[in-house]
Amino acid sequence: MLDVLKVRIYPNKEQEISLAKSFGCSRFVWNFYLNKTNTQYQETGKGMTYCQMAKDLTQLKKLSDYEWLQEPTAAVLQQSLKNLETAFKNFFLKRTGFPKFKSKHSKQSIRFPESCSIKEGSLKLPKLGLVKVSLSKTVNSKIKSVTVSKTSTDKYFAAILFETDKLATKKQGKISGIDLGLNSLVTVFDGETCYKVDPIKPTRKYAKRLRVRQKSLSRKVKGSNNRRKAIKVVAKVHEKISNTRQDFLHKLSRKLVDDNQVIVTENLCVKGLARTKLAKSIHDAGFGMLLNFISYKLEREEGNFIQVDRFFPSTKLCSCCGHKNDLLNLSIREWICPGCQTTHDRDENASRNLRAEGIRILSTNTVGHTEIQACGEAVRLVGTCTKKRVSEKQESPATLRDSISGGVSIF
């Protein structure tokens, strides 16, 4: 079993220079062979494989104009070629877009695929030696690889991929239905109680600070040192927003996973929602990030994560009698069922219906699909239950759980 630990590292001046050279060489190799592969494909109709690119790189480093490629460790440059080949595979399998050229002004990263270890509380990397690191937990097993990255605010991080013998225990807990929204980020119903968690809205919280920094940046002359400093100041505000959102979602997902054995949510089309007039609020809430956190944390603890089909009318169905209210719109937050005269809170009713649908899916061992349509009989369900596209990643420690594992006790 593989696990990942992301930590912050503090290289000294010499190590920073060495990392900068490695970042630059890795970026050059990616861009050089991306361009060469494109040119060869236009001329012959065939691209370059990893073996062809690695063989050509060996000859390239022998030329006098490219001797500087010998400064970083060879494994880093070879890993860059492997990443490029993987990017092309994902493109041809229609998992992602066409590979793009890398820029030195964006986030930089390299991977050390071998010869990495932890000694004396420091991280030992090839040609860098011992690098000061802030470890949140001990890593006593074999390290498979280390990915070193540098943010736009000049902070260095290392993602350590290592083997672990820790076996997940069978998780015991409740079955909860979770409805996502903007007024209440999550509405959770566990069969007995229902509670809501409000979003923190970090983008709006730091909007004034960001506006002041961006105004200052706009007054700086392009290419000047003051502009470069102002860019870093703006980047720190964006980093603050990102860190605040991730910290909140990590804590929320951890609480939900600790309290529940099965979590049922709706399979939202986040990309589609992000194209509406609520795009800013959708991105600020981080729906996709929250679902991703819940998914992999539940998988590590052998829980079940169920996503009900997005066309299931969780909001319009009465959780008591099953009556469907087609007249319900987004402006109505509470409604009375015409069939049983029950007063419903919109979000709470949706979470109850999602939980009931999740139990039905578990009991029948079917996929999260229902024949009941959310928007009337004219809605087509073609293509709504296709498998989620996941990019191939080398030695990925965990994957999203879209299928339902058997053998889970629900009663």
Catalytically annotated residue among 85, 190, 266, 348: 266
In whole angstroms, give the CA distance from residue 295 to residue 305: 6
In whole angstroms, give the CA distance from residue 126 to residue 156: 16
Closest CA to 191 of 384, 341, 354: 354
Return the sign of the alpha-carbon dihedral for residues 125, 130, 136, 137. positive
Catalytically annotated residue among 85, 179, 299, 309: 179
In whole angstroms, give the CA distance from residue 62 to residue 57: 9
Q: What does residue 37 show for φ and ψ, rounded to 5 degrees?
A: -65, -40
Catalytically annotated residue among 85, 299, 309, 347: 347
Q: Is 266 marked active-site?
A: yes
Give the SS3 label for residue 10.
strand
- How far, in Å, are 10, 56, 104 from residue 29 at the CA level? 26, 11, 13
Q: Is 3 marked active-site?
A: no
Neighbours of 352 (CB within 10 A): 23
Closest CA to 113 of 165, 68, 154, 159: 159
Place of tokens 């490629």: 69
Task: Looking at 142-224, list the stretches that DSSP marks H as alpha helix, in order from N- to C-terminal side.
Answer: 202-205, 207-218
Closest CA to 184 of 64, 333, 60: 333
Return the sign of the alpha-carbon dihedral for residues 9, 11, 17, 18. negative
In whole angstroms, give the CA distance from residue 225 to residue 273: 40
Give the SS3 label for residue 81.
helix
Give the SS3 label for residue 1.
coil
- Looking at this protein, which amino acid is placed at residue 344? H
In whole angstroms, give the CA distance from residue 68 to residue 23: 13
60 Cβ neighbours under 8 A, 6+ residues apart: 32, 66, 69
Place of tokens 């909860």: 176
Which residues participate in catalysis according to the annotation?
Answer: 179, 266, 347
